[in-house]
Amino acid sequence: MGAQRMQRTLLSLVLRLLLLCTVATGKCSGKYHELLLQLQRQADLMQDPSTLLDPYIHLQGLHSPVLQEHCRERPGDFPSEDALWRLSRQDFLQTLNTTLGLILRMLSALQQDLPEAAHQQAEMNVRGFGNNIHCMAQLLRGSSDPKAAEPTQPGPGPTPLPPTPPSSTFQRKLRNCGFLRGYHRFMRTAGQVLRGWGERQGRSRRHSPCRALKRGARRTQPFPEIRRLAPRGQPPGSLWGAPAR
Amino acid sequence: MPTQILQIAFIQKYLCKMFTLQTWIVQALFIFLTTESIGELIVPCAHIHPESSVVQLGSNFTAVCVLKEKCMDDYHVTANDIFWKTGRVPVPYEQYSVINRTASSVTFPNITLINALLTCNIRMFGQINRSVYGIRIISGLPPEKPKNLSCIVNEGKKMMCQWDPGRETYLETNYTLKSEWATEKFDDCKAKRDTPTSCTVDYPPVYFVNIEVWVEAENALGKVTSDHINFDPVDKVKLNPPHILSVNSSKELSSILKLTWTDSRFKSFITLKYDIQYRTKDASTWNQVPPEDTSSTRSSFTVQDLKPFTEYVFRIRCMKEDGKGYWSDWSEEASGITYEDRPSKAPNFWYKIEPSHAHGTRSIQLKWKTLPPFEANGKILDYEVTLTKWKSHSQNYTVKDTKLTVNLTNDRYVATLTARNLVGKSDASVLTIPAWDFQATHPITDLKAFPKDNVLWVEWTAPNESVNRYILEWCVLSDKSPCIPDWQQEDGTVHRTYLRAPSRGPTVRTKKVGKNEAVLEWDHLPIDVQNGFIRNYTIFYRTVIGNEIAVNVDSSHTEYTLSSLTSDTLYMVRMAAYTDEGGKDGPEFTFTTPKFAQGEIEAIVVPVCLAFLLTTLLGVLFCFNKRDLIKKHIWPNVPDPSKSHIAQWSPHTPPRHFNSKDQMYPDGNFTDVSVVEIEANDKKPFPEDLKSLDLFKKEKVNTEGHSSGIGGSSCMSSSRPSISSSDENESAQNTSSTVQYSTVVHSGYRHQVPSVQVFSRSESTQPLLDSEERPEDLQLVDNVDGSDGILPRQRYFKQNCSQHETSPDISHFERSQQVSSVNEEDFVRLKQQQISDHISQPYGSGKMKMFQEVPAVDAFGPGIEGQVERFETVGMEDAVDEGMPKSYLPQTVRRGGYMPQ
């Protein structure tokens, strides 16, 4: 019964995230800088280990330094920093979108292993971050190509799955711990990339903010790289490489 | 067979089901028919349109009552017979309108606030009125568009939105808060009935994501939606207040205090600004740190331009730097004291020459005023006075008081005075003490004083020469008090002033004295004694041996709590009131702090009493439970001698008495064995008698412990008769401590004259006791006497505590019965054999020690009770026959023991 409910929740969450655009009802902020700042701060907020990792460690009794040593992000769980920096804006947003889906699934699986408040807040934060990604993608599309203002669909690129639960409970705890550590690292990196957007935009703005935005938007067609990536068959390792240490 | 039973059970069950089903069907049919008939009965005669009506206030409302044909036929009525009522009040006919034969309407123009039952009634033949239908009319208003929708996110809590619902609708109106992101909708938040103007959503706030929020108001008359507001929840946040960690002073700067705090973790993501306020401890108004100085995220701030050695109280709050959102609540207040600074002013200084008898010297009393706190800038440790004679060495004095008396020569002196605190000295106040023959050549003139504006003014004409300063001296002229001079110092440029120092200080008293604190109170000084504006009060308090502590109190207060006092200590307290020009002490007041706080004694005494009571109760319960054991060890059961069997041992003793043994020894155990020693007059052996006395032989029973008490009385004094055939040592031991208690007057038996006096003896110091009596043994003796008729006999009662070796588990009673139930021949045969074995044992002091006890079980077989009764009967008959005086029982029994007869 519980498993069915969890599956249902998981399904609804994933669908909700994947169909962000199709169910969009509210109005996104039309201000690029405001939205970018929100994304940056959200990333700052979510990279804070006290929001998720620390409660998990506390609840699961993984305090000891020895165990902490084993609580490491596993390569391949999240895109590496280098890979994120290499992505175009649309691809970056698409990658964020996809990774958020993965995180939501993982959070759903960790529902029983986290304090309720922390879990609920983390889930809402992820969903909120997805909302802002959607708005940013919409803004970028709208600024360049009206045709591109189609619902954003997840690219066919590498979509990592949550780690398969190890057989041992202890191993599973360490695995989840490592995943959460990776999550915070990923959000930190995402925040840095987003700050990089602001800097580039700032430089561009010296000339013409509107033009620069449009130029950037032209450069970042809605997830064209993702579309291109798939046929090329770029190995996942290029995007989901080893995490930065 | 079991199969058949099962079949029967199944059939029974089936039949039961069938029966139940039938019952159900019948019941259902009955209910159906009943319902039908009732339904026919309650079919209304009319209908009103509309069925339910919520009417808007101020509108017109029309209702139509339509009669049914059947009713009209039955009751012979038409629409003309219809009349309307609201509640019990008939509606005026002017508002009616007969539409046709069956329908009549009523109209309410411009309907007002109403919530009533509107009924359609008919007037039947015979002026009988009947209500045929009714509806409820409720009037109200549709909801107004909610206005001023605003939301707040208290940090750590969920978002709460509130709105102005507009006018009263007088109807049940539901308010629903709706919210959504660009990508998803949230569940509706329905306002509760008791708080229809606000609602708290049930999802945690997500900062940095724009959310759109609006309110829908709906009631029976309509539905309306407020304007949508779109915001980032972080712009509606009300942060938790900062927590002040410390307020630190600086030794280098006495005018600053550094405030440090911790605040929301939001400062990692957003810029905060702060609002810092401070005041002196006794002030009521707050000073504000300029906002521009605290407009960025920080965790400390140094407040400047503070007074030295002054306690300040701080509070702080924060909000988003951009001003979006709400100020947090104020933090808890925290206080700190600025460091001391050197006294900022020299004390006012004056002197007084006192008469001296010594030739060539004079006594000078130097006196000065204490510095008010705002000039002392710390705690004044002492004053340094320097007296310098012209071209001579200086004399230095360090004084804690405010006066100094010195003997000076008649020369001119220059005195300087400085006040010193922890940081440094004040400037020196210089005073010239002229030589004794100095004549003031230019005194002031026209000195006059006059009241004005509730103060006493003094005016004078200055001399022509320049004047450094003036000193005014005065005292209060009163019949009730002596003239106590006071003084004040004025600058040399003025020639008019008023007496500024208060003429008296406030009188302080205690309002409440606790163990470690005391609440002081005082009255404001009357205007006529203030002599200026009272700037502040200073409370000085000290113990008998302690240093004086000064506390400054704002002039607006009339109460102050001294804290951190020592319990059970005498304190002396006084107050000084300060104007700009000086202060005046009030009278000293003493109080003693109590040793215990209020309720503390009760808190100690009550638990102790309860514990004592509990202990006592437990003790009593314990004693009650262990009463047998305690009684055995502390006060054993001392039998009442008056109930001793010895006392009742007479031929008149009823046989039932002998059967009380099992009551006395319910467990069948005895405490000891008594030996009956029968004292004989002559010492010759009585072989015949001995033979007859064989029947006295009885078993020596086991003892089960000894009762404590007087000489182990229960052991030693048991008078259960026994054959005195114990071994020598035992006999000697027992007889050595034998005490004669009673004399048994042997009156013979069956008309035989007793030749010996018979004594009852016991080794115990205890009198022969009832519980130690062994009626059955006596019975034996009696029976034996009766049966054998051997007289005179020498009898001894001797005790023996030794346990029986052979039959420890057989009760004495049983054994005795066994003994008593043996037939005579057996006794005789056995006793002859036993006596032959023991008769050679020596006798002591005229007493016969005989009848070594033999276990009855060993000696005799199971007894026959009937024989016991027979023996007893014989004894009784003897007693009746011979009368009491002939009895060999003690004749006199005194309380507390048997006395020898």
Place of tokens 């069997």: B645
Q: Is B808 near chain A, with CB under 8 Å?
A: no
> Quick one: pLDDT at residue B635?
74
Contact between B209 and A128 using a beta-carbon 8 Å cutoff:
yes
Quick one: tokens of B784? 């034996």
Nearest CA to B169 out of B223, B211, B127, B130 is that of B223
| Nearest-CA distance A21 → chain B (Å) | 6
Nearest CA to B806 out of B856, B734, B731 is that of B856
Which chain A residues are within 8 Å of B232, Cβ to Cβ?
38
Instruction: Kindly list the structural domains of chain A, giving each domain's residue range(s) and its CATH number in brackets, ordered by start.
Output: 29-161+169-206 (1.20.1250.10)
Of B482 and B681, the one with more pLDDT? B482
Structure confidence at residue B581 as a pLDDT band (50, 70, 90)? low
| Nearest-CA distance B180 → chain A (Å) | 6
Which tens digits make up the pLDDT trace of A46-60? Answer: 999 999 999 999 999
What is the 3-state secondary structure of B122-164?
EEECCCEEEEEEEEEEEEECCCCCCEEEEEEEECCCCEEEEEE
Q: Which backbone phi and psi does B639 adopt, to 5 degrees?
A: -65, 150
Taking residues B338-345, report their average pLDDT. 94
Which tens digits make up the pLDDT trace of B98-142? Answer: 999 999 999 999 888 888 899 999 988 888 888 899 999 999 999
Average pLDDT over all residues of chain B? 73
Contact between B208 and A27 using a beta-carbon 8 Å cutoff:
no
Pick from A24, A41, A124: CB nearest B203:
A124
Which tens digits make up the pLDDT trace of B240-291? Answer: 999 999 999 999 999 999 999 998 888 888 899 999 999 998 888 999 999 9
Closest residue on chain A to B230 (Cα): A27
Reduce the DSSP state of residue B893 to 3 states and report it: strand
Which chain A residues are within 8 Å of B265, Cβ to Cβ?
48, 50
Structure confidence at residue B441 as a pLDDT band (50, 70, 90)? confident
Contact between B209 and A129 using a beta-carbon 8 Å cutoff:
yes
Q: Which backbone phi and psi does A152 adopt, to 5 degrees?
A: -75, 120
Which tens digits make up the pLDDT trace of B164-204? Answer: 999 999 999 999 999 999 999 999 999 998 999 999 999 99
Quick one: tokens of A235? 């190995």
Question: Which ipTM score applies to this complex?
Answer: 0.75
Structure confidence at residue B53 as a pLDDT band (50, 70, 90)? confident
Which chain A residues are within 8 Å of B230, Cβ to Cβ?
26-27
Structure confidence at residue B536 as a pLDDT band (50, 70, 90)? confident
- The β-bridge relationship of strands B128-140 and B53-56 is parallel
| Nearest-CA distance B232 → chain A (Å) | 9
Pick from B181, B203, B207: CB nearest A45:
B207
> Quick one: pLDDT at residue A4?
57
Q: Which of A102-106, A204-208, B488-492, B889-893 has the highest mean pLDDT?
A: A102-106
Distance of CA B689 to the CA centre of its chain: 84
Which chain B residues are within 8 Å of A130, Cβ to Cβ?
183
Interface list for B 175-204 with A (CB within 8 A): 180-185, 203-204
Pick from B182, B204, B230: CB nearest A131:
B182
> Quick one: pLDDT at residue A7?
58
**First-residue to last-residue Cα distance in chain A:** 41
Residue among A37, A42, A97 with most chain B CBs within 10 A, to mutate: A42
Of B761 and B409, the one with more pLDDT? B409
Closest residue on chain A to B207 (Cα): A42
Q: Is the pLDDT score of B327 beyond 70?
A: yes
Which chain B residues are within 8 Å of A54, Cβ to Cβ?
none
Pick from A117, A125, A134: CB nearest B182:
A134
Taking residues B542-564, report their average pLDDT. 85
Contact between B209 and A50 using a beta-carbon 8 Å cutoff:
no
Contact between A41 and B185 using a beta-carbon 8 Å cutoff:
no
Q: Is the pLDDT score of A36 beyond 90?
A: yes
Q: Is the pLDDT score of B224 beyond 90?
A: yes
Q: Is the pLDDT score of B18 beyond 70?
A: no
Euclidean distance between CA atoms B822 and B871, whole angstroms: 11
Q: At what angle do helices B812-820 and B775-788 cross, to 10 degrees?
A: 10
Contact between A128 and B212 using a beta-carbon 8 Å cutoff:
no
Which chain A residues are within 8 Å of B178, Cβ to Cβ?
none
Beta-bridged to residue B553, according to DSSP, are B537
> Quick one: pLDDT at residue B489?
86
Which tens digits make up the pLDDT trace of A124-151? Answer: 999 999 999 999 998 888 765 443 334 3
CB B726 within 8 Å of CB B699: no
Which chain B residues are within 8 Å of A141, Cβ to Cβ?
none
Nearest CA to B217 out of B145, B319, B164 is that of B145
Residue among A40, A107, A123, A124 with most chain B CBs within 10 A, to mutate: A124
Contact between B180 and A26 using a beta-carbon 8 Å cutoff:
yes
Pick from B180, B183, B265: CB nearest A134:
B183
Q: Provide the phi-psi class of B668: left if phi over 0, else alpha when psi is between -120 and 50, else beta.
A: left
Contacts of B889 by beta carbon, 8 Å cutoff, 6+ apart: B646, B647, B648, B649, B650, B744, B745
Of B855 and B595, the one with more pLDDT? B595
From A18-22, A131-135, B82-86, B231-235, the region with the lowest mean pLDDT: A18-22
CB A173 within 8 Å of CB A68: no
Which tens digits make up the pLDDT trace of B628-669? Answer: 888 777 777 777 777 766 655 555 544 444 444 444 444 444
Closest residue on chain A to B157 (Cα): A117
Reduce the DSSP state of residue B634 to 3 states and report it: coil
Euclidean distance between CA atoms B308 and B344, whole angstroms: 10
Contact between B230 and A125 using a beta-carbon 8 Å cutoff:
no
Contact between B269 and A41 using a beta-carbon 8 Å cutoff:
yes
> Quick one: pLDDT at residue B899?
36
Euclidean distance between CA atoms B880 and A218, whole angstroms: 146
Quick one: tokens of B245? 């960690």
Residue among B208, B270, B320 with most chain A CBs within 10 A, to mutate: B208
Euclidean distance between CA atoms B485 and B468, whole angstroms: 22
Taking residues B24-41, report their average pLDDT. 42
Pick from B203, B212, B268: CB nearest A27:
B212
Nearest CA to B551 out of B424, B379, B344, B420 is that of B379
Reduce the DSSP state of residue B643 to 3 states and report it: helix
Closest residue on chain B to A124 (Cα): B206
Closest residue on chain B to A121 (Cα): B204
Which tens digits make up the pLDDT trace of B352-398? Answer: 887 766 777 888 999 998 888 889 999 899 999 999 987 788 899 99
Contacts of B798 by beta carbon, 8 Å cutoff, 6+ apart: B674, B675, B676, B677, B722, B724, B726, B731, B734, B735, B738, B761, B763, B849
Give how far Cα B378 sits from Cα of A222, B86, B254, B389, Å.
73, 84, 10, 32
| Nearest-CA distance A90 → chain B (Å) | 18
> Quick one: pLDDT at residue A5?
53
CB B417 within 8 Å of CB B384: yes
Q: Which backbone phi and psi does B858 adopt, to 5 degrees?
A: -70, -35
Which chain A residues are within 8 Å of B212, Cβ to Cβ?
26-27
Burial of B107 by CB count in 10 Å (0-12 exposed, 13-18 middle, 19+ buried)?
middle
Q: Is B232 near chain A, with CB under 8 Å?
A: yes
Euclidean distance between CA atoms B608 and B75, whole angstroms: 89
Share in percent of chain A as helix, strand, coil (round to 5)? 70, 0, 30
Q: Which of A132-146, B50-64, B867-881 has the highest mean pLDDT?
A: B50-64
Of B741 and B491, the one with more pLDDT? B491
Q: Is the pLDDT score of B456 beyond 50?
A: yes
Beta-bridged to residue B583, according to DSSP, are B578
CB B260 within 8 Å of CB B245: yes
Euclidean distance between CA atoms A203 and A214, whole angstroms: 14
Of B599 and A9, the one with more pLDDT? B599
Contact between A27 and B211 using a beta-carbon 8 Å cutoff:
no
> Quick one: pLDDT at residue B649?
56
Q: Report which residue type is found at A101.
A: G
Of B455 and B398, the one with more pLDDT? B398
Q: Which residues of B213-231 are buried (b: 16+ CB within 10 A; e: fewer)?
A: bbbbbbbbbeebebeebee
Contact between B269 and A29 using a beta-carbon 8 Å cutoff:
no
Contact between B209 and A26 using a beta-carbon 8 Å cutoff:
no
What is the 3-state secondary structure of A118-150?
HHHHHHHHHHHHHHHHHHHHHHHHHHHCHHHCC
> Quick one: pLDDT at residue A35?
92
Give how far Cα B390 sits from Cα of A27, B360, B432, B433, Å.
95, 16, 11, 11
| Nearest-CA distance B206 → chain A (Å) | 6
Closest residue on chain B to A135 (Cα): B182
State whether the Cα torsion B29-B31-B34-B40 is positive or negative.
negative
> Quick one: pLDDT at residue B342?
93
Burial of B284 by CB count in 10 Å (0-12 exposed, 13-18 middle, 19+ buried)?
exposed
Which chain B residues are within 8 Å of A120, Cβ to Cβ?
203-204
Pick from A45, A50, A131: CB nearest B181:
A131
Peptide bond into B855 cis (omega under 30): no
CB B658 within 8 Å of CB B872: yes
Contact between B270 and A41 using a beta-carbon 8 Å cutoff:
yes
State whether the Cα torsion A118-A119-A124-A127 is positive or negative.
positive
Contact between B269 and A45 using a beta-carbon 8 Å cutoff:
yes
Please work out, in degrees rounded to the nearest 5, the angle formed at the alpha carbon of residue B478 by the alpha carbons of B473 and B483. Answer: 40
Taking residues B858-862, report their average pLDDT. 38
Place of tokens 């200055």: B462
Structure confidence at residue B325 as a pLDDT band (50, 70, 90)? very high
| Nearest-CA distance A123 → chain B (Å) | 10
Quick one: tokens of B522? 């005082």
> Quick one: pLDDT at residue B882?
40
Q: Is B270 near chain A, with CB under 8 Å?
A: yes
Contact between B183 and A39 using a beta-carbon 8 Å cutoff:
no
Contact between A44 and B181 using a beta-carbon 8 Å cutoff:
no
What is the 3-state secondary structure of B438-463?
CCCCCCCEEEEEEEECCEEEEEEECC
Give how far Cα A24 sits from Cα of A28, A134, B39, B154, Å.
9, 9, 55, 28
DSSP states of B10-75 = HHHHHHHHHHHHHHHHHHHHHHHHHHHHHHHHH--SEEEESSSEEEETTS-EEEEEEE-HHHHHHH
Q: Is the pLDDT score of B405 beyond 60?
A: yes
Cβ neighbours of B76 (radius 10 Å): 11
Q: How many CB pairs under 8 A join A and B?
A: 79
Q: Is B268 near chain A, with CB under 8 Å?
A: yes
Contact between B183 and A117 using a beta-carbon 8 Å cutoff:
no
Nearest CA to B146 out of B172, B114, B119, B177 is that of B177
Which tens digits make up the pLDDT trace of B696-738? Answer: 444 443 433 343 333 333 333 333 333 333 344 444 444 444 4
Q: Is the pLDDT score of B300 beyond 90?
A: yes
Burial of A1 by CB count in 10 Å (0-12 exposed, 13-18 middle, 19+ buried)?
exposed
Quick one: tokens of B419? 């006040």
- In percent, how much of chain A has pLDDT > 70? 60
Contact between A50 and B265 using a beta-carbon 8 Å cutoff:
yes
Please work out, in degrees rounded to the nearest 5, the angle formed at the alpha carbon of residue A37 by the alpha carbons of A35 and A42. Answer: 95
Euclidean distance between CA atoms B716 and B433, whole angstroms: 110
Which tens digits make up the pLDDT trace of B131-163? Answer: 899 999 999 999 999 999 999 999 999 999 999
